[in-house]
Structure 1
């Protein structure tokens, strides 16, 4: 390996994950592809090796500290961008069945290249807006877990994500720092969409502050939601 993975491996060990050499090789290849493609398209503002390992890869995998990731679970990553958190989760938990959803076709092309290069199975990258794909019977209410690191308020993200989750499943929003006010402001929307706040899991690592907002899907989402493309962000519930 051409990079020093000591810090990354130790960070993973500290949260109970022991990476194999093949997993480290996969992260190395993913990093190289990310940096190479970032030269011609906007994938990440963070490019230094240790920072990518820390702020993208490790951060993505921290999800397993907040919720159970069973071997047969189906997970959708909404607004995945360069593949965070979906691809790091797939590398570490290869038994998960993962869908990566992004609205920019060029990013989906990159994701498919990564999937092919890493020989990942049971993972797909699809192009579309959450508001449209959530109305497709193939995807609606069919996931155990929906996740999103996308930058949007929680009311908007809930309208994007909760329609994908089956009853008994969970939507987890990755947020930075203190998000208590944002959660309070989104409670009515979450209830309207069939969700119930389970917990806010706050923690710090390597000078980073992270919160996972865990929302249980307790009722079916009305067919009125999500509203047509653009409305959830322009007029949050």
Structure 2
């Protein structure tokens, strides 16, 4: 019953969408609701809201057209798999890495990918600041994505080290990001990035408005970053 709205959304993004992908999303929805009764995955449990606020919202990342060319994507702090797994369902040939600090969330995501018949997904159980110290993960990915609820300065320190030079970090942020972006500019530069684009996103049929903050990695992140979790908690990277 939600095929038309999902098809309309993907079509607007210039993406192909078929019944098999739709069935994968519906299985994903059902598993999310089933597992949510056992472990805390989402406060959003209404079918229609899951479709709009999780699935359609996640694939809005494709508004940044370079994502369509990405071969490797890491979702940092993936939680219940957003936005990484919807990106993978749409773009089947991307190699996806899902990183989260809670193993029970990764167990859920492993069950989802198995049930949906999705392959070429790697699961990393790690805090974001520790994962990018793993040599095989640092400076590796075409694109890092994150929908984590965190300050942009903090998110950039956690996510940009995973991205290879020339790649991008896409932060899925709320409607009011101007001040946050201004506050983050110094840190973004220190971490080897630059603001590439800010894309406003509106989900049709809802009052939801978001922004994609796209940061391009223009040089390697200094080895001292990301800092330890205790150092990060004490202070953000700032020029002041």
TM-score, structure 1 length as denominator? 0.95
Residue in structure 1 matched with residue 224 of structure 2 by the alignment: 224
**Counterparts of residues 139-178 of structure 1 (less than 5 Å):** 139-178=137-176
Q: Which residue of the other structure, out of 10, 24, 27, is the alignment partner of 1:29? A: 27
User: More deviation in 23-32 or 221-230?
Assistant: 221-230
Alignment partner of 1:181 is 2:179: yes
User: CA contact under 8 A between 1:70 and 1:96: conserved in structure 2?
Assistant: no
Q: Which residue of the other structure, out of 122, 125, 148, is the alignment partner of 1:124? A: 122
Tell me how far 1:168 sits from its aligned partner: 0.2
User: More deviation in 111-120 or 137-146?
Assistant: 111-120
User: CA contact under 8 A between 1:156 and 1:233: conserved in structure 2?
Assistant: no
Q: Which residue of the other structure, out of 21, 40, 52, is the alignment partner of 2:50? A: 52
CA distance 1:72–1:154, change in 2 (3 Å): closer
Residue in structure 2 matched with residue 203 of structure 1 by the alignment: 201
C-alpha distance in structure 2 between counterparts of 1:8 and 1:50, whole Å: 11
- Structure 1 unmatched ranges of 5 or more: none
User: More deviation in 61-70 or 47-56?
Assistant: 61-70
Tell me how far 1:70 sits from its aligned partner: 4.3
The runs of 4+ residues in structure 1 deviating greater than 3 Å are none
Tell me how far 1:65 sits from its aligned partner: 1.1
Tell me how far 1:68 sits from its aligned partner: 1.4
**Counterparts of residues 66-81 of structure 1 (less than 5 Å):** 66-70=64-68, 73-81=71-79
CA distance 1:233–1:57, change in 2 (3 Å): farther
CA offset digits 1:27-86 (Å, max 9, x no partner) = 011001000000011111111111111111011111111131345521100010000001
C-alpha distance in structure 1 between counterparts of 2:230 and 2:96, whole Å: 25
Q: Which residue of the other structure, out of 15, 18, 23, is the alignment partner of 1:17? A: 15
Report the count of equivalent residues.
235
User: CA contact under 8 A between 1:103 and 1:129: conserved in structure 2?
Assistant: yes
Name the Cα RMSD after superposition. 1.4
Tell me how far 1:8 sits from its aligned partner: 2.6
User: CA contact under 8 A between 2:160 and 2:169: conserved in structure 1?
Assistant: yes
Residue in structure 1 matched with residue 215 of structure 2 by the alignment: 215
C-alpha distance in structure 2 between counterparts of 1:65 and 1:213, whole Å: 11
Tell me how far 1:230 sits from its aligned partner: 4.0
User: More deviation in 223-232 or 191-200?
Assistant: 223-232
Residue in structure 1 matched with residue 4 of structure 2 by the alignment: 6
- Structure 2 unmatched ranges of 5 or more: none
CA offset digits 1:9-35 (Å, max 9, x no partner) = 333333333421110110011001000
Alignment partner of 1:89 is 2:87: yes
